[in-house]
Amino acid sequence: MFTKPLKPAMQQAYVKLMMSVIGNGLVIASQVDSEIQQEIAKFPENFTLSMKVFPHGPAFTARVNQLKQLELVDEPSGKPDLCIIFKHLEHAFLVFSFQESTARAFANDRMIADGDVSYAIRLVRCLNKMESLILPKLIASLAVKQYPEQLGFKEKLSNASLIYLKLAQSFLKRSA
């Protein structure tokens, strides 16, 4: 996507924005998409997950609530049950700028899954489905290992519209 290297401050701002979009998008997708709902329902109640850039970069933390949906957590209490950690800002930038898929980043040892591997796999499936829903197919194909063949245009359009609408509303609430 990007041909010239960005300055670290620009990478930081971009990754911070994308962390916010992904965190909020995942929360909203857990309310909208039945496949993601089924995956989230398999996490225990109060299960916390986070994604962050090592050591003190952009991050988000979410928790599974009583309704078996994700909700963002402002102040995490204790260590998350699952933490996906990018080893460096540039590694997160590669993934979030769609130059490298999440699966490739794991294979290239750019990320660490701190927690139960089965939960990490479940989370990656949720992220892949969310990205497949909200991104154009061409870009989503770069972001995910395999674009879901069964994802029809009608489902993609209706779920993506709902996710984008709720995402915009959540950003507007925070800025007000």
Give the domains, in start order, of the chain with CATH numbers: 8-167 (3.30.1050.10)
Please check the confidence at residue 149 and state whether its pLDDT lies above 90.
Answer: no
Q: What is the pLDDT of residue 23?
A: 94
Which of 49-53, 71-75, 77-81 has the highest average model confidence (pLDDT)?
Answer: 49-53
Residue pair 133/29 in contact by the 8 Å Cβ criterion: yes
Q: What is the pLDDT of residue 8?
A: 80
Phi-psi category of residue 71: left, alpha or beta, with phi > 0 → left and psi -120 to 50 → alpha: beta
Please check the confidence at residue 41 and state whether its pLDDT lies above 60.
Answer: yes
Q: What is the pLDDT of residue 118?
A: 93
pTM for the structure as a whole: 0.85
Please check the confidence at residue 162 and state whether its pLDDT lies above 70.
Answer: yes
Angle at 24 between CA 4 and CA 79, to 5 degrees: 95
Q: Which two tokens stand for residue 58?
A: 């952009």
